[in-house]
Structure 1
Amino acid sequence: MSDQPMTLQGEEPQGSASSAVNEAAAGTEAALKIRDKELSTEAGGRGSGPEGPATGGSGLGIAHILKRLLLFARPYWPRMIMAVMLAVVGAALTVIGPHYLERITNEIQKGLATGIDMDEVRRLILISITILVLSFIASYMQARLMVEATQRTSQGLRTGLNRKIDNMPLSYFDKTSHGDTLSRVSNDVDTLSQTLNSAVSSVITGVATLLGASLMMFITEWRMALAGMAAALLGFSLSLYIMKRSQQYFIRRQRELGALNGLIEETYSGHSVLRVYNAEASARHEFHNRNLALYNTSWKADFLGGLMNPVMMFVGNLGYVVVCVVGAILVINGTIPIGVIVSFMIYIRMFTNPLTSIAQAATGFQNATAAGTRVFELLDEEEMDDESGKPAEVMPVRGHVEFDHVKFGYSPEREIIHDFSAEVQPGQKVAIVGPTGAGKTTMVNLLMRFYEIDSGEIRIDGVPIADMRRENVDALFSMVLQDTWMFKGTMRENLVYRTEGVTQERLDAAVEEVGLTEFVKQLPQGIDTVMEEEGALSAGQKQLVTIARAMLADDPLLILDEATSSVDTRTEQLIQDSVDKLAEGRTSFVIAHRLSTIRNADIIFVMRDGDIVETGKHEDLLAEGGFYADLYNSQFDPAE
């Protein structure tokens, strides 16, 4: 993806304000129903993978999410396998412990009549302590290995998302709010990370302990084992039913959270506009509706998920009762010694505790499934074509640009550029003018390969840009856009921005040419001042910075999209002189609504409804008295 920001034509607004604040129940309910419909439509229209659309009310499913996560965890499989082995060893040692407790109890019971063999009791106690210590060491090593493997997997997942976003077409970001995308990359990945860190370890240890406890119970006394396990499994079945019912709410919660984040990002990025139009009340109303929708799904998800713990506590207590009753009957009948009951009190807890852990992990997996569905929807989105087979080198160019019967539309049913053909000679300064929506910025976006044309061809020095790598196309252009972009860093870093080998003299010259010298001198640390606050620079000063950045980049082709829209008349003239100097020897494309800035253009393309309707120099077009003359005269008095 290009490092430069851009202005998009044909972009639909990300949201709209509600008509008025209405807190009545009926109004809120109607808003929630509309939001539910939006979520349903959104879920049905997003990404698809090899298994079909990666959406739906139930998400991708726990099994699918775990499978995808395991693919990301492939480099760490040896550690995970070792962790599983240690979990099995730790569980085996843990379940052996009650057997020695049983023997200690029976030894003491037997000694009440004949005398207690303290040497044997001490030996059994020493064995029990050794088993507990070894079990602790195995559990510690298992947890350490699993945490490292899961965190590395999360790191790989974030890396994959970052790479995915770089390889996605800009059309995806036109139809998806930035807040929702940020929510997938941050909130949803964090949810997956937390689940991997806790739930996976709990499941591995729990399953190993569960199997070990089951085996030891059957070896010790099969009738008590059947009775205790039947009671525990009955409660676990109830937990599975609750988990199935709660799944839909966990999925909806992640979608509602993404929608709310999108609204917040949109509202605060346009906060000044919101205040100017007194839209605070309607924005609060829309926030209230979406926040309430998130609350409704969240409390249902958490309530149903929270039922897991009390249900499993009930199961554990029920298991105690069943074991005690059945064990007492068997002791009275002389079938078993009392030590079996003591060991079974621990075994049944070992059996029910893992069930509780697994049930709690299942609740975490509900969140993980919902989050994973959204993450993998993003990962399954269509990418730009692979260009590894195209030449990697950037050839020197003269700047001969040709548009050959170019057609393009942001959507199939809406064609914006209709059979556009034009030729620009090396070193020419080309102005592209026309009313809003004529396709001016779209032409520049196509030239930069921000979008792929539907038909036709664009060539630079006779080479179709479709045959060049996107990064190679980007390397040919410097851009100055109407919407400026600066990042947190020093003024020097913002000016130089990835241009290597810039000397201090060259930097000072660029700053002087755009008229920023006095401003830089007033900064606390001069050009090395960190520009932290958004309000530290005015809109015009930001635009001057981006112009200086383009000067320092010194690329063979130049694009100026309303480059002087945020500066005063005096600064405009200063910038115009600097731009004229910058454009010498370079092919430059200037998009302008202020036609006074393009009088000295070598050629002017006048666009209307996606077509070039007039071509020529400023004076010639005025003399023709056509569409360009109408545009010009609408801005200036003809008598002047």
Structure 2
Amino acid sequence: MTEQKPPITFRQISQPAHRQITVSLLLAVLAAFLSLVPVIVLVELVRTVMLSFQGEPIDASKLWLLVAALMVATVLHGQATVKSLQVSHQADGLLGEHLRQQQITKLGRLPLSWFTRTPSGTVKTYIEDDVTKIHQLIAHAPHDYSAGVLVPLLSLGYMFVVDWRIGLLGLVPLLLAVATMPFMMREFQEKAEKFKSSQKQLDAAVVELVRGIPVIKVFVPEGYDESIFLSRSRSFGGFYREWLHATVHPTALMKIFTSTGFGLLVVAAASPWLITSAGVPVADVLAAFLLINNIAAPLLMLSRTNIMFSEAKAAAADLTEFFNIPVLPPAAGGREPANAGIELKDLSFSYVPDTPVLSGINQKLTAGSITAVVGPSGSGKSTFAALIPRLLDPTEGSVRIGGVPSTDLRSDQLYRRVGFVFQDPYLMRMSVRDNIRLAHPEATDADVVRAARAAQIHERITHLPRGYDSVVGEDAQLSGGEQQRLAIARSILLDAPILVLDEATAFADPDSEAAIQRAITELVAGRTLVVIAHRLHTITGADRILMLENGEVTEAGTHEELVAAGKGYATMWARYQTAQAGIQGEEK
């Protein structure tokens, strides 16, 4: 089940930055108007000075007033521009922080099934790349679009006010640049979408390549170049070269028509005729020289900004898509479980519609009992385990903790009662002490040490360079079995009445397995234990064993009962014993 809410829009997502964006936009508009003032003042200065060549006296007060206006306008324009960019960058920083906080909250509420079916590269794009790309949208778009649109319009308007022929002169590079733009931007949207899709696929391939380096080094022969990464890399490179080849000539023309040299060349070529034949004053022609590059040149900046803006809009669409992914619905949390019993009632689960992983499961796990779940690979054991602590929600039916559906328990209620030790324990890059304390942040150092002793990991920790202050991954390099015991210490500190172990000894060596088993014995005392078993000899003493096959519980009972029944479990047990005997024989 998922929440049904109106779709979230990017306007809602970006709400914390709206005020700063508005202020930045207003300052950018002011800067655009102020950018024209120095040019107007300079033209009037020249006009005033040139009157002296006609024998008229110079108006000194007007001259000084124009100089003062030039200085003030220049300073104010600089201040408005800087302040606009400063405020927009503050908005970008604020929004980036807000988005990452919201993303962390969102990730915590997403079902485990989303992570299993979503490529790592896509997750990276959502969390890292998209937040970075909207920088252009928030930090630069208000200023760039104001400057790119208003400055050319104001400049052209002033040129027409000065003289209509000067205005027409200003249109020459503008019209030529506009004429080349469709060729430069042809099929841009379609190609931009393909570029984005190809880049996502390449990102995903890079992540998978890095993860799979050990396998590639061992199994991929030297010179083998048909990996997914290289295939996608060639595809991306080929597409990019094709796109560049198609747009290189119109882009070059666009750069020529918007260049300073071309604008000055147009005015210089027309100046003799304007001054001698058309009778346009020199001061007015000077205005053309000063403003011609304000008209077409911003188009090139706008085209570049538009490309980055398109990427930013695509990133904003991605973020909107991410925040609209259905999450596990929140629980009311009005009821408290009566005990540590677990009931799975008419339970079915599918990662993909119409493809059940578990179906029709009805089981009651008594409070304080030990229940083992066994079965062949792909039978749904880990999914079964993930449903109890509500890492997933059932597609049909319910999981009840102490008589209360897990979907009715708030997170704090649920995780006070249910601990989970994963098959592949995740340790954060922090001190060993803080890794154990994750389960109970208020725990004392003495509590942490007691939990580590019970988990059979205290002695190993004391031999680390800085003991409990050693940082995992830096001066605390732990084996798989040691990491598992650290995770068990975390669960001991949590002191939850229900514990789920997902194949906790699957990859442990014999010494580590023995230590883990002692830790588990310490951990499960008085608790309801659900253990996903890979090594069958570890669960022969369980109160109840559930045999999962093709997503269904086909057998249930004690080890002795299931062996005596002579069905699937008995066959699995016989094969396991044979395999173990072979391993022991090889060791001898």
| Structure 2 residue corresponding to 1:342, chosen from 286, 289, 293 | 286
Counterpart amino acid of 2:257? F
Please give the residue correspondences for 1:474-513 in structure 2 after superposition, counting only pairs within 5 Å. Answer: 474-513=415-454
TM-fit CA distance, 1:221: 1.2
Helix, strand or coil at the partner of 2:190: helix
Task: Name the CA distance, whole Å, in 2 between partners of 1:210 and 1:348.
Answer: 9
TM-fit CA distance, 1:492: 0.9
Helix, strand or coil at the partner of 1:329: helix
The corresponding residue for 1:246 is 188
Counterpart amino acid of 2:93? Q
The corresponding residue for 2:506 is 565
Counterpart amino acid of 2:462? K
Contact 2:148–2:301 (CA under 8 A) maintained in structure 1: yes
TM-fit CA distance, 1:301: 5.4
Q: 1:340 to 1:637 in 2, by over 3 A?
A: closer
Contact 1:87–1:208 (CA under 8 A) maintained in structure 2: no
Residue 184 of structure 2 corresponds to residue 262 of structure 1? no
- TM-score normalised per structure 1: 0.82
Higher relative contact order (CA 8 A, sep 6+): 1
Q: 1:569 to 1:108 in 2, by over 3 A?
A: closer
> Cα deviation per residue 1:247-268 (whole Å; 9 max; x = unaligned)?
3333333332322222222222
Please give the residue correspondences for 1:20-419 in structure 2 after superposition, counting only pairs within 5 Å. Answer: 69-114=10-55, 117=58, 119=60, 120-278=62-220, 281-282=223-224, 285-299=227-241, 304=247, 308=251, 311-316=254-259, 317-326=261-270, 328-333=272-277, 335-385=279-329, 387=330, 390-391=332-333, 395=336, 397-419=338-360
> Cα deviation per residue 1:221-244 (whole Å; 9 max; x = unaligned)?
123213422541331242254234
TM-fit CA distance, 1:199: 4.0
> Cα deviation per residue 1:306-329 (whole Å; 9 max; x = unaligned)?
965761442455544444455543
Q: How many residues align?
A: 575
Tell me which moved more, 200-209 or 597-606: 200-209
TM-fit CA distance, 1:630: 1.8
Counterpart amino acid of 2:521? D
- TM-score normalised per structure 2: 0.88
Task: Name the CA distance, whole Å, in 2 between partners of 1:411 and 1:256.
Answer: 25
Task: Name the CA distance, whole Å, in 2 between partners of 1:71 and 1:213.
Answer: 37
Tell me which moved more, 286-295 or 596-605: 286-295
Task: Name the CA distance, whole Å, in 2 between partners of 1:181 and 1:607.
Answer: 32
Q: Flag structure 1 segments of 5+ consecutive residues without an equivalent.
A: 1-48, 52-66
Q: 1:161 to 1:328 in 2, by over 3 A?
A: farther
Please give the residue correspondences for 1:390-539 in structure 2 after superposition, counting only pairs within 5 Å. Answer: 390-391=332-333, 395=336, 397-470=338-411, 472-533=413-474, 536-539=477-480
Task: Name the CA distance, whole Å, in 2 between partners of 1:50 and 1:306.
Answer: 46
The corresponding residue for 1:591 is 532
The corresponding residue for 1:26 is none
- What is the root-mean-square deviation of aligned Cα atoms in Å? 3.1
TM-fit CA distance, 1:201: 1.7
Helix, strand or coil at the partner of 2:547: strand
Matched residues, percent identical? 25
TM-fit CA distance, 1:430: 0.7
Contact 1:251–1:367 (CA under 8 A) maintained in structure 2: no
Q: 1:214 to 1:534 in 2, by over 3 A?
A: farther
> Cα deviation per residue 1:191-220 (whole Å; 9 max; x = unaligned)?
221453234421122323223213212221
Counterpart amino acid of 1:294? F
Please give the residue correspondences for 1:605-624 in structure 2 after superposition, counting only pairs within 5 Å. Answer: 605-624=546-565
Task: Name the CA distance, whole Å, in 1 between partners of 2:383 and 2:19.
Answer: 51
Task: Name the CA distance, whole Å, in 2 between partners of 1:372 and 1:157.
Answer: 11
TM-fit CA distance, 1:101: 2.2
> Cα deviation per residue 1:536-574 (whole Å; 9 max; x = unaligned)?
111111111111211111101011121122333344334
Q: 1:281 to 1:259 in 2, by over 3 A?
A: farther
Task: Name the CA distance, whole Å, in 1 between partners of 2:402 and 2:310.
Answer: 56
Task: Name the CA distance, whole Å, in 2 between partners of 1:70 and 1:354.
Answer: 28
Contact 1:428–1:602 (CA under 8 A) maintained in structure 2: yes
TM-fit CA distance, 1:404: 1.8
Contact 1:513–1:578 (CA under 8 A) maintained in structure 2: yes
Q: 1:124 to 1:76 in 2, by over 3 A?
A: same
Tell me which moved more, 341-350 or 257-266: 257-266
TM-fit CA distance, 1:530: 1.1
Contact 1:100–1:128 (CA under 8 A) maintained in structure 2: yes
Q: 1:281 to 1:192 in 2, by over 3 A?
A: farther
Counterpart amino acid of 2:306? A
Q: 1:235 to 1:246 in 2, by over 3 A?
A: same
> Cα deviation per residue 1:425-476 (whole Å; 9 max; x = unaligned)?
1111111112222222221122222222232232222212233335533432
Contact 2:418–2:497 (CA under 8 A) maintained in structure 1: yes
Counterpart amino acid of 1:198? H
TM-fit CA distance, 1:532: 2.2
Task: Name the CA distance, whole Å, in 2 between partners of 1:280 and 1:265.
Answer: 21
Counterpart amino acid of 1:467? D
Q: 1:109 to 1:153 in 2, by over 3 A?
A: same
Tell me which moved more, 590-599 or 270-279: 270-279
